[in-house]
Amino acid sequence: MSPRTYLATTARVLTQLGHDRRTIGLIMVVPGALVTLLYLVYLDSPLGEVLFDSLAVSMIAILPMAVMFLVTSVTMLRERASGTLERLWTTPLHRADLVMGYATAFTLLSLGQSLLLVAVCAWGLGVSLAGSWAWVVLVALVDAFVGVALGLLVSAFSRSEFQAVQFMPLVIGIQLFLCGILVPRGELPRVLELVSRLLPMSWAVNAVDEVRTSDVVTAGLVCDLGVLVVTGLVVLAAAPLTMPRRTR
Protein backbone atom coordinates (compact mmCIF):
# COMPACT_ATOMS: atom_id res chain seq x y z
CA MET A 1 0.00 0.00 0.00
CA SER A 2 1.38 3.40 -1.05
CA PRO A 3 0.50 6.40 1.17
CA ARG A 4 0.63 8.72 -1.85
CA THR A 5 -1.72 6.58 -3.93
CA TYR A 6 -4.02 6.05 -0.95
CA LEU A 7 -4.31 9.81 -0.30
CA ALA A 8 -4.85 10.52 -3.99
CA THR A 9 -7.66 7.94 -4.08
CA THR A 10 -9.26 9.44 -0.99
CA ALA A 11 -9.12 12.94 -2.51
CA ARG A 12 -10.58 11.69 -5.80
CA VAL A 13 -13.51 9.98 -4.11
CA LEU A 14 -14.24 13.03 -1.94
CA THR A 15 -14.17 15.27 -5.02
CA GLN A 16 -16.54 12.97 -6.88
CA LEU A 17 -18.94 12.84 -3.97
CA GLY A 18 -18.80 16.60 -3.63
CA HIS A 19 -20.33 16.89 -7.11
CA ASP A 20 -23.05 14.32 -6.40
CA ARG A 21 -25.76 16.21 -4.55
CA ARG A 22 -28.13 13.27 -4.37
CA THR A 23 -25.56 11.09 -2.63
CA ILE A 24 -24.64 13.88 -0.23
CA GLY A 25 -28.32 14.39 0.52
CA LEU A 26 -28.83 10.67 1.14
CA ILE A 27 -25.88 10.55 3.53
CA MET A 28 -26.49 13.79 5.40
CA VAL A 29 -30.22 14.48 5.29
CA VAL A 30 -32.09 11.19 5.08
CA PRO A 31 -31.15 9.76 8.54
CA GLY A 32 -32.28 12.92 10.33
CA ALA A 33 -35.44 13.06 8.21
CA LEU A 34 -36.32 9.47 9.09
CA VAL A 35 -35.86 10.08 12.82
CA THR A 36 -38.05 13.19 12.50
CA LEU A 37 -40.73 11.08 10.80
CA LEU A 38 -40.48 8.60 13.68
CA TYR A 39 -41.01 11.49 16.10
CA LEU A 40 -44.22 12.49 14.27
CA VAL A 41 -45.44 8.87 14.36
CA TYR A 42 -45.21 8.85 18.18
CA LEU A 43 -46.23 12.47 18.68
CA ASP A 44 -49.81 11.82 19.85
CA SER A 45 -49.21 8.43 21.47
CA PRO A 46 -49.76 8.26 25.28
CA LEU A 47 -46.34 6.69 25.80
CA GLY A 48 -44.88 8.31 22.74
CA GLU A 49 -42.18 10.36 24.46
CA VAL A 50 -40.72 7.39 26.35
CA LEU A 51 -40.91 5.05 23.37
CA PHE A 52 -39.51 7.62 20.97
CA ASP A 53 -36.49 8.44 23.15
CA SER A 54 -35.51 4.79 23.23
CA LEU A 55 -36.11 4.16 19.54
CA ALA A 56 -34.45 7.39 18.41
CA VAL A 57 -31.22 6.50 20.19
CA SER A 58 -31.35 3.02 18.65
CA MET A 59 -31.85 4.57 15.21
CA ILE A 60 -28.53 6.39 15.64
CA ALA A 61 -26.97 2.92 15.80
CA ILE A 62 -28.92 1.61 12.80
CA LEU A 63 -29.29 4.32 10.17
CA PRO A 64 -25.59 5.20 9.65
CA MET A 65 -24.70 1.57 8.96
CA ALA A 66 -27.66 1.05 6.63
CA VAL A 67 -27.16 4.27 4.66
CA MET A 68 -23.39 3.94 4.33
CA PHE A 69 -23.69 0.29 3.27
CA LEU A 70 -26.10 1.24 0.49
CA VAL A 71 -24.16 4.28 -0.73
CA THR A 72 -20.75 2.58 -0.65
CA SER A 73 -21.81 -0.60 -2.43
CA VAL A 74 -23.70 1.26 -5.17
CA THR A 75 -20.91 3.79 -5.67
CA MET A 76 -18.29 1.08 -6.04
CA LEU A 77 -20.51 -0.79 -8.54
CA ARG A 78 -20.94 2.44 -10.48
CA GLU A 79 -17.15 2.76 -10.71
CA ARG A 80 -16.91 -0.77 -12.09
CA ALA A 81 -19.79 -0.35 -14.54
CA SER A 82 -18.35 2.87 -15.95
CA GLY A 83 -14.96 1.26 -16.51
CA THR A 84 -13.23 3.57 -14.05
CA LEU A 85 -11.82 0.70 -12.02
CA GLU A 86 -10.38 -1.06 -15.05
CA ARG A 87 -8.57 2.14 -16.04
CA LEU A 88 -7.28 2.54 -12.48
CA TRP A 89 -5.89 -1.00 -12.51
CA THR A 90 -3.52 0.06 -15.31
CA THR A 91 -1.85 2.46 -12.86
CA PRO A 92 0.30 1.51 -9.83
CA LEU A 93 -2.88 1.46 -7.73
CA HIS A 94 -3.17 -1.55 -5.42
CA ARG A 95 -6.40 -3.05 -4.14
CA ALA A 96 -5.56 -1.92 -0.61
CA ASP A 97 -5.04 1.67 -1.81
CA LEU A 98 -8.44 1.62 -3.48
CA VAL A 99 -10.34 0.08 -0.58
CA MET A 100 -8.68 2.23 2.07
CA GLY A 101 -9.20 5.36 -0.02
CA TYR A 102 -12.91 4.65 -0.38
CA ALA A 103 -13.25 3.69 3.27
CA THR A 104 -11.54 6.88 4.43
CA ALA A 105 -13.57 9.14 2.14
CA PHE A 106 -16.92 7.68 3.12
CA THR A 107 -16.03 7.54 6.80
CA LEU A 108 -15.11 11.23 6.71
CA LEU A 109 -18.52 11.97 5.21
CA SER A 110 -20.17 9.82 7.86
CA LEU A 111 -18.66 12.09 10.53
CA GLY A 112 -20.84 14.92 9.23
CA GLN A 113 -23.76 12.51 9.03
CA SER A 114 -23.30 11.45 12.66
CA LEU A 115 -23.00 15.02 13.94
CA LEU A 116 -26.09 16.14 12.03
CA LEU A 117 -28.14 13.13 13.13
CA VAL A 118 -27.21 13.63 16.78
CA ALA A 119 -27.94 17.37 16.50
CA VAL A 120 -31.42 16.62 15.15
CA CYS A 121 -32.11 14.18 17.98
CA ALA A 122 -30.60 16.18 20.84
CA TRP A 123 -31.63 19.73 19.96
CA GLY A 124 -34.32 19.40 17.32
CA LEU A 125 -36.39 16.59 18.83
CA GLY A 126 -35.43 16.83 22.50
CA VAL A 127 -34.19 13.26 22.92
CA SER A 128 -32.67 12.78 26.37
CA LEU A 129 -30.13 10.29 27.65
CA ALA A 130 -28.13 9.74 30.81
CA GLY A 131 -24.66 9.76 29.24
CA SER A 132 -22.79 12.10 26.94
CA TRP A 133 -23.84 12.71 23.33
CA ALA A 134 -20.16 12.60 22.38
CA TRP A 135 -20.19 8.84 22.95
CA VAL A 136 -23.26 8.49 20.77
CA VAL A 137 -21.48 10.38 17.98
CA LEU A 138 -18.52 8.02 18.33
CA VAL A 139 -20.75 4.95 18.18
CA ALA A 140 -22.54 6.33 15.10
CA LEU A 141 -19.21 7.04 13.40
CA VAL A 142 -17.80 3.56 14.09
CA ASP A 143 -21.14 2.06 13.08
CA ALA A 144 -21.00 3.94 9.77
CA PHE A 145 -17.44 2.71 9.24
CA VAL A 146 -18.67 -0.87 9.58
CA GLY A 147 -21.39 -0.09 7.03
CA VAL A 148 -18.75 1.25 4.62
CA ALA A 149 -16.60 -1.87 5.07
CA LEU A 150 -19.60 -4.15 4.47
CA GLY A 151 -20.55 -2.16 1.37
CA LEU A 152 -17.05 -2.48 -0.09
CA LEU A 153 -17.02 -6.22 0.59
CA VAL A 154 -20.47 -6.89 -0.84
CA SER A 155 -19.85 -4.81 -3.97
CA ALA A 156 -17.30 -7.40 -5.09
CA PHE A 157 -20.07 -10.03 -5.30
CA SER A 158 -22.45 -7.90 -7.37
CA ARG A 159 -22.52 -7.42 -11.12
CA SER A 160 -24.80 -4.38 -11.14
CA GLU A 161 -26.08 -1.63 -8.88
CA PHE A 162 -29.40 -3.45 -8.70
CA GLN A 163 -27.73 -6.57 -7.36
CA ALA A 164 -25.90 -4.48 -4.76
CA VAL A 165 -29.24 -3.09 -3.55
CA GLN A 166 -30.60 -6.65 -3.36
CA PHE A 167 -28.04 -7.38 -0.64
CA MET A 168 -29.77 -4.85 1.65
CA PRO A 169 -32.38 -7.28 3.05
CA LEU A 170 -29.71 -9.93 3.60
CA VAL A 171 -27.01 -7.77 5.16
CA ILE A 172 -29.05 -5.03 6.86
CA GLY A 173 -32.55 -6.51 7.16
CA ILE A 174 -31.45 -9.55 9.18
CA GLN A 175 -29.46 -7.34 11.53
CA LEU A 176 -32.43 -5.03 11.96
CA PHE A 177 -34.68 -7.90 13.03
CA LEU A 178 -32.16 -9.39 15.46
CA CYS A 179 -30.45 -6.32 16.96
CA GLY A 180 -32.92 -5.98 19.82
CA ILE A 181 -35.22 -3.11 18.83
CA LEU A 182 -38.18 -5.37 17.97
CA VAL A 183 -37.69 -7.97 20.71
CA PRO A 184 -35.00 -7.84 23.43
CA ARG A 185 -32.18 -10.12 22.36
CA GLY A 186 -32.46 -12.11 25.59
CA GLU A 187 -36.03 -13.06 24.67
CA LEU A 188 -35.13 -14.37 21.21
CA PRO A 189 -35.00 -18.12 20.54
CA ARG A 190 -31.61 -19.43 21.58
CA VAL A 191 -30.37 -19.95 18.02
CA LEU A 192 -31.36 -16.43 16.96
CA GLU A 193 -29.79 -14.97 20.09
CA LEU A 194 -26.50 -16.64 19.23
CA VAL A 195 -26.72 -15.35 15.66
CA SER A 196 -27.41 -11.83 16.93
CA ARG A 197 -24.13 -11.88 18.84
CA LEU A 198 -22.29 -12.17 15.54
CA LEU A 199 -24.00 -9.14 13.98
CA PRO A 200 -22.33 -5.72 14.35
CA MET A 201 -25.63 -3.84 14.51
CA SER A 202 -26.46 -5.68 17.75
CA TRP A 203 -23.28 -4.37 19.36
CA ALA A 204 -24.00 -0.86 18.08
CA VAL A 205 -27.52 -0.88 19.57
CA ASN A 206 -26.08 -2.21 22.84
CA ALA A 207 -23.52 0.59 22.87
CA VAL A 208 -26.00 3.45 22.47
CA ASP A 209 -28.32 1.80 24.98
CA GLU A 210 -25.45 1.84 27.50
CA VAL A 211 -25.06 5.58 26.92
CA ARG A 212 -28.81 6.15 27.13
CA THR A 213 -29.17 4.45 30.50
CA SER A 214 -25.86 5.20 32.25
CA ASP A 215 -24.04 8.47 32.94
CA VAL A 216 -20.66 6.73 33.26
CA VAL A 217 -18.49 4.96 30.71
CA THR A 218 -19.30 1.30 31.34
CA ALA A 219 -17.23 -1.75 30.49
CA GLY A 220 -20.08 -2.82 28.23
CA LEU A 221 -19.80 0.35 26.16
CA VAL A 222 -16.05 -0.08 25.73
CA CYS A 223 -16.52 -3.74 24.80
CA ASP A 224 -19.26 -2.91 22.27
CA LEU A 225 -17.11 -0.25 20.60
CA GLY A 226 -14.13 -2.59 20.53
CA VAL A 227 -16.15 -5.31 18.81
CA LEU A 228 -17.42 -2.81 16.22
CA VAL A 229 -13.93 -1.51 15.45
CA VAL A 230 -12.47 -5.01 15.12
CA THR A 231 -15.39 -6.13 12.94
CA GLY A 232 -14.97 -3.16 10.64
CA LEU A 233 -11.23 -3.71 10.31
CA VAL A 234 -11.63 -7.44 9.61
CA VAL A 235 -14.27 -6.84 6.93
CA LEU A 236 -12.19 -4.03 5.42
CA ALA A 237 -9.12 -6.29 5.33
CA ALA A 238 -11.15 -8.94 3.49
CA ALA A 239 -12.53 -6.51 0.89
CA PRO A 240 -9.33 -6.16 -1.19
CA LEU A 241 -9.02 -9.95 -1.44
CA THR A 242 -12.36 -10.18 -3.26
CA MET A 243 -12.01 -7.05 -5.41
CA PRO A 244 -12.11 -8.06 -9.11
CA ARG A 245 -9.75 -6.51 -11.62
CA ARG A 246 -12.18 -6.83 -14.51
CA THR A 247 -15.77 -5.79 -14.99
CA ARG A 248 -17.82 -8.92 -15.45
Q: What is the total count of domains within the chain?
A: 1
Is residue 39 situated within a structural domain? yes
Is residue 238 situated within a structural domain? yes
Is residue 247 situated within a structural domain? no
Is residue 76 situated within a structural domain? yes
Residue 82: predicted pLDDT: 67
Quick one: which H or E segment has residue 177?
Answer: helix 174-178
**Does pLDDT of 114 surpass 90?**
yes
Highest mean predicted confidence (pLDDT) among 7-16, 20-29, 144-153, 160-169? 144-153
Q: Are 70 and 113 in contact (CB under 8 A)?
A: no
Q: Are 235 and 151 in contact (CB under 8 A)?
A: no
Which range of residues forms the domain containing residue 141? 3-242
| Of 203, 192, 13, the residue nearest 97 (C-alpha) | 13
Residue 157 CA to residue 96 CA, distance in Å, equals 17
Is residue 248 situated within a structural domain? no
Phi-psi category of 132—alpha, beta or left, where left has phi over 0 and alpha has psi -120 to 50?
Answer: beta
- In the chain, % of residues over pLDDT 90: 54
- In the chain, % of residues over pLDDT 70: 92
Mean pLDDT in residue range 88-111: 81
> Which positions ≥6 away from 57 have C-beta within 8 Å?
121, 127, 129, 136, 208, 209, 211, 212
The pTM assigned to this predicted structure is: 0.91
Is residue 180 situated within a structural domain? yes
Which has more confidence, 211 or 81?
211
Residue 159: predicted pLDDT: 74
Quick one: which H or E segment has residue 133?
Answer: helix 133-155
Confidence of residue 221 (pLDDT cuts 50, 70, 90): very high
Is residue 71 situated within a structural domain? yes
Is residue 174 situated within a structural domain? yes
